A and B are shown apart, each in its own frame.
Chain A
């Protein structure tokens, strides 16, 4: 479990990163917190010829509020996201999910941008960004572009990022998406990757703005539970309807997870977590 040889660069600015990316392109990998890339290199499942270490690029680590948006720099550690007062106010769903990432040691090193670029379908942050319709701000040789989270993940451990591009920051709608929110995941042990995760923004009775239900851990990327969202879009929050919506999440999970031996099980868990997440979210609306 030793990595193959690689060339190592330690830039201190985004411009420097872009120059290095332009030069090394497909041969290069960006090193953020190293919580996934380094084990993959040690297992020789990843063998980049060039490693561009982002840990010296201070401008990438920030948590800010900007015109109704919460802006989180790509090199912000999970621990800082989970413990930030600003995040908790502007985007409580994100704070709740970030606290569930791995273990303290992982949260101390792992970063927002690293987790999203790695695109593990069972990870918390891809699920949350998809649920909240966050915008991924990316910079490359042609300048900046913004990619909606729903378009960012392209499959198992794959994003639409070009080899010459760098994820700069993530912009979350800072209204928190309504007063009701909840992130429920089930993993085999505490700190482990979720078998299934369900993220919910659920406004209370009569409201529908900001309604969102996202699911992680099932399929090749996180997805939105459209059918369930449709059922709840009318603002009704009766128990029967909520159960129908939860069942719809389960049904959609079975479609996404097709081909997996444990598909039925995951579908059942997805429905269960959705039901529980709805209950928690509604409780938080003060219904």
Chain B
């Protein structure tokens, strides 16, 4: 090989960054404490807010006396709901589903409160200490109404109404009937009746919410720094409620210390803080404390399911009738509405299984509790809990291994693309292989040996599985079907090469743990033939980034990743055209790699990309005729047909149960996941780890407990327990890569998935561990020690 040939080969074989385990470029900033969050920002003359929050779950506000608070030294303003009502419209977010009943969620409660923690008044002071001192002086008089503190209380005859114009306490009533359920029930060898309960919990980001509003009276512009996943949607929502032109509002989401869906909302507090800044002409800051976060941010996942499951003696499930209730709390949330959980659960409940006869009634219920919103997995943890527990119960009923029953029901590889009974298009998947692989990689045989040895010693080990498929990166078609008012159809990227040849990518999504600064850079660097270090990814500022929807629903890698790829391709085309002119070659022969544009097969005939960039901006005379002197392109991407791409996974867990105390310890945890082509397997691993940890929290520890008066009893981390490092076992993750036929590079979304599998897997394992006592249907999460004790007693009773 001649020297030139070797050079050429080296140049053309730049390893693809797409698919590489690149370490995260954002980490040094976080690890050295150089992240800049909302609370790190201080503006000149900035004032601080504390909110007075309702102590009543359901009451009329008969008076608010602010006199003492307003005259407290250091206080600048005390604003009540009545005053706020004149400054901002309430949040409305209406579904287009026909049975929808609407709510108005005011920035500050006006006339009536509907949950404990709802903001009633705002105190603005020199600092937060003074604001809190003065907030204790605000006297709110309530006239109590009967609280509606549970699904049962909301749906019973004669239940008090939360919203006067409603005919009952349902945001929405849904009904679906596909196939022939009655026929399946009639022909079944057996029908199981199963009740399942997932209790209310939520995503608990390390950083609570927070925002700063700054209003410029000179040009009527408002800037809001806020810890959000969806800066553009917050801007649109704010413009609507404040009745300001949207081009006068700038929203900046700086570093966000975790979101998990919880921070994907327009919040009453953001509106209130904006109004206060506009009113006072001073910057105003609100930093949410943990008590406020637990009381009044967003709760999630409170589902009650009742299933009838028709099965054949061979273990196949032939039909399901489902009745679903979701406790959605007091108000509909923006931009999702209170239909998300019922819609998602209704659609995905059959999961990865070939169930063709399915009827479902689903109700979004309003109660005097904190509003319910999306949290990592949205409804799928509950739906997966139901179908997976059903599979285990069928296995028990017909006397087959739970693994075998799953195998007999899973959609086969040759059936993709598979249209589910509810009309979801499973684009591709590896349902069988994932289950088999997790059993191999997680060493199911070894687990079974350990279980046997332990039983001989009088210890109770249990093995549990779960399988799921997760719709991700769904866009236009799916959101039209759901009837949400905003169709989250696409996301957007601008790729801009500057005169020195480095690249800035501006995206409409927001990264708060997902590692987009690394993954998008990998995608763009590959297209432009430049090193990763030359690409910087920026997001969060609506004044700098192109419009788009933000980060949620496991969509960013597919959509903003796709948009970045497309925009980078456009810039690459410009470079190629310019290089071809300069090198007097055919554009079809030009290749970009290792910072150079060169003629394929002849590395010596090349030009530095940095030179092309410099000339494009500073030496326009060198440009080809008709080429514009700016290396910049914008693209959006919607992953047509917009039905989403279905990632899948199988989880396998080994637990030890102490039947005396009810304690559950996780010994081993294995995941095999398939999210199509991985941009960065290291980041995929990290996302799975985080998701599984949160799923374990919901499976064992986390629960918001309300009493019958609607008082939240779990308002600190003393009562609301989160898993810590010592509660999470090592999580073994292995991968399959079944490409999506619908997306660029075959990428699928995966951010939420890890959180879906643990609940059913752990429940299944606990039931298995208790099997020496007798069979028991473990149907309630989280599995607190007391509940586990109850299951021990039930198992013993069942055996007797």
* Chain A residues near B789 (CB-CB < 8 A): 265, 268
**Given A186-B661, A191-B724: A265 touches B786 (CB 8 Å cut-off):** yes
**Which residues 142-171 of A have a CB within 8 angstroms of B?**
none
Within the complex, what minimum Cβ distance (angstroms) separates A245 from chain B? 16
CA separation between A273 and B660, bound complex, in Å? 9
Our pick among B136, B663, B784 for the contact of A44 (Cβ within 8 Å) is B136
| A268 surroundings in chain B (CB, below 8 A) | 660, 789
**CB neighbors of B among A112-153 (8 A):** none
Contacts of A186 in B (CB 8 A): 661, 663, 785
Which residues of A sit under 8 angstroms from B661, Cβ to Cβ?
186, 269, 272-273
The binding surface of chain A is classed by DSSP as: loop
Partner of B660, one of A2, A193, A272: A272
Find chain B residues with CB under 8 A from A1 CB. 289-291
Q: Does A4 contact B (CB under 8 A)?
A: yes
Chain B 768-787 interface 0/1 with A at a Cβ cutoff of 8 Å (1 = within): 00000000000000001110
Partner of A189, one of B129, B662, B727: B727
Residue B484 CB within 8 A of the other chain: no
B660 and A269: CB pair below 8 A? yes
Cα(A191)–Cα(B290), bound, Å: 20
A44 near B724 (CB under 8 angstroms)? no
With A265-B786, A265-B789, A268-B789 known to touch, is A189 a contact of B724 (CB < 8 Å)?
A: yes
Q: B727 near A190 (CB under 8 angstroms)?
A: yes
Complex: how many Å from CA A3 to CA B786? 35
A38 to B129, CA, bound (A): 14
Q: How many B residues have CB within 8 A of the partner chain?
A: 24
By beta carbon, the residue of chain B nearest A39 is B716
- Also in contact, A192 and B129, with CB within 8 A (given A265-B789, A268-B660, A269-B660): no
Residue A262 CB within 8 A of the other chain: yes
Chain A's closest residue to B786 (CB) is A265
Q: How far is the CA of A2 from the CA of B132 in the complex (A)?
A: 7
Chain B, residue nearest A184 (CB) = B661
Q: In the assembled complex, which residues on chain B have CB atoms less than 8 Å from the CB atom of A191?
A: 724, 726
A269's nearest neighbour on chain B, judged by CB, is B661
Pairwise interchain contact B785-A189, C-beta atoms closer than 8 A: no
The answer to whether residues A192 and B786 also contact, given A2-B128, A2-B129, A44-B132 and a CB cut-off of 8 A, is no
Asked whether A190 lies within 8 Å of B726 as measured between CB atoms, the reply is yes
Chain A residues, Cβ within 8 Å of B289: 1
Chain B residues closer than 8 Å to A195, beta-carbon distance = 785
The smallest C-beta distance from B724 to any residue of chain A, in angstroms, reads 7
Q: Which A residues touch B291, using CB under 8 A?
A: 1, 43
Complex Cα spacing A56 to B137, Å = 35
B133 at the interface (CB under 8 A from A): yes
Q: Is A188 an interface residue (CB 8 A)?
A: yes
A239 to B784: give the CA distance in the assembly, Å.
30
Which listed residue, B133, B701, B721, touches A4 by the CB 8 Å rule? B133
* B186 interfacial contact with A, CB 8 Å: no
Contact B721 A43 (CB under 8 A): no
Q: Within 8 Å CB of A4, what residues of B?
A: 129, 132-133, 136
Q: Mark B279-323, 1 if CB is under 8 A from A, else 0.
A: 000000000011100000000000000000000000000000000
| Closest beta carbon of chain A to B122's beta carbon, Å | 16
Q: Which of B653-684 contact A (CB under 8 A)?
A: 660-663
Is residue B531 contacting chain A, with contact meaning CB distance below 8 A?
Answer: no
**Docked-complex contact B785 and A190, CB < 8 angstroms:** no
Shortest B210–chain A CB gap in Å is 13
24 A–B contacts, CB within 8 A, in A order: A1-B290, A1-B291, A2-B129, A2-B132, A3-B129, A4-B133, A4-B136, A39-B716, A43-B291, A43-B716, A186-B661, A188-B701, A189-B701, A189-B724, A191-B724, A193-B718, A262-B786, A265-B786, A269-B660, A269-B661, A269-B662, A269-B785, A272-B660, A273-B661
A residues adjacent to B (C-beta < 8 A): 1-5, 39, 43-44, 103, 186, 188-193, 195, 262, 265, 268-269, 272-273
Please name 16 further chain A to chain B contacts, defined as beta carbons within 8 Å, in addition to the given A1-B291, A43-B291, A272-B660, sorted by A numbering. A1-B290, A2-B132, A4-B129, A103-B724, A186-B661, A188-B785, A189-B701, A189-B724, A192-B721, A193-B718, A262-B786, A265-B785, A268-B789, A269-B662, A272-B661, A273-B661
